[in-house]
Structure formats: C-alpha cells, structure tokens
Amino acid sequence: MANTQKLDSQVVSEPCTVFLIEDDYDDRLLAKSELMESEHIKEVLCFSDGEELTEYMKKNGYMDKSIMLMSPMLILVDLEMPKKNGLEILDELKKDTFLQDIPMVVVSGTDSEEKLQKAHDLGADGVFSKPLKVDMLDKYYTSAWQWPPKQMWMQ
C-alpha cells in the first residue's frame, strides 16, 4: 500500500510515478525536466505516442490486471499525436475498469474548445496548457486527485 501520513484533516501520499505521453521530443524533454522539479514526483516515464504507452502497459501487466497499482500514478497525455492520439488513449484507458481511476490529465497547446470538451467527455481529470510548468502539477497534486483512492488505504 502507498505510504501515507495524515496532516490535520488532509492526507498526503508518497510521490507519484508520471507517465508522460508526448510526441514532440523537445516538449517531452522540457516537460520531464519541469516535472522532476516537483517533490510530488518520484519518476517520469516518457512515451512518444499512444501505441508506445499501450505496448509498455501490456508488457508490464497493466492491461491484463497482473500488476497491482498501489503507488500513486498520474498520466499526462498530449492531444495531438500520430498513431494513437490523446483522445484515443483517454477513451481506451477510461473504459478499462481496472485503469479508469488513474488520473489522466491532458497537456495541450490547442485552443480548440471542441477537442478539450471531447477530452472532458471521455473522462480527462484535468487540462494543462503547454508549456507544462511544475506549479501546475503541484497545485493539481495537492488539491484535485489521489491515487490510489482513499478507500484503498484508509480504514
């Protein structure tokens, strides 16, 4: 189970692993560097497209439920990518009853209300604009999400 500590009425969990799916090499490097500045992040695993993420998840037991997700996780996904785009990844993972509760945040440079609404409709837990800044993540981490969910580790 995730290591947690109780501070007043707030529960704080251990630093999380971030899956960053971004096709642009420079954006990926910048985002990873920015994310590693956060005390809430223990590691960032980068993928250049949705197919690469899916292959990694299949190979490492996420898709067949053989892995137990007991440490905090966050998936950051770019909307505009080749092969499998951010909307397709959202749709696939949010339909999976085992993976659907992992927080997924869209990171995008688009100002298309239609695409952002579609991401919301598919279950995106938030939207960050590019370029990604560590303060965005820190604010989101402390106020908007927890994985694993409280019911998994609180009595």
Q: pLDDT for 99-153, tens place per residue?
A: 888 889 988 887 778 888 899 899 998 888 888 888 877 777 777 655 444 443 3
Q: Report the pLDDT value the prediction gives residue 62, as an integer from 0 to 100.
A: 86
The Cα–Cα gap between 114 and 32 comes to 27
pLDDT of residue 48: 94
Find the range with the poorest average confidence among 35-39, 48-52, 64-68.
64-68
For the sheet with 41-47, list strands across it. 41-47, 16-21, 73-78, 104-108, 126-129
Between the alpha carbon of residue 8 and those of residues 72, 134, 150, the distances in Å are 21, 25, 15
pLDDT confidence of residue 150:
44
Helix, coil or strand: residue 47: strand
Instruction: Provide the percentage of residues in the chain whose pLDDT is more than 90.
Output: 36
Q: At 5, give phi and psi (nearest 5°).
A: -135, 150
- pTM for the predicted model, two decimal places: 0.81
CATH architecture of 16-145: 3-Layer(aba) Sandwich (3.40)
pLDDT (mean) for 14-22? 90
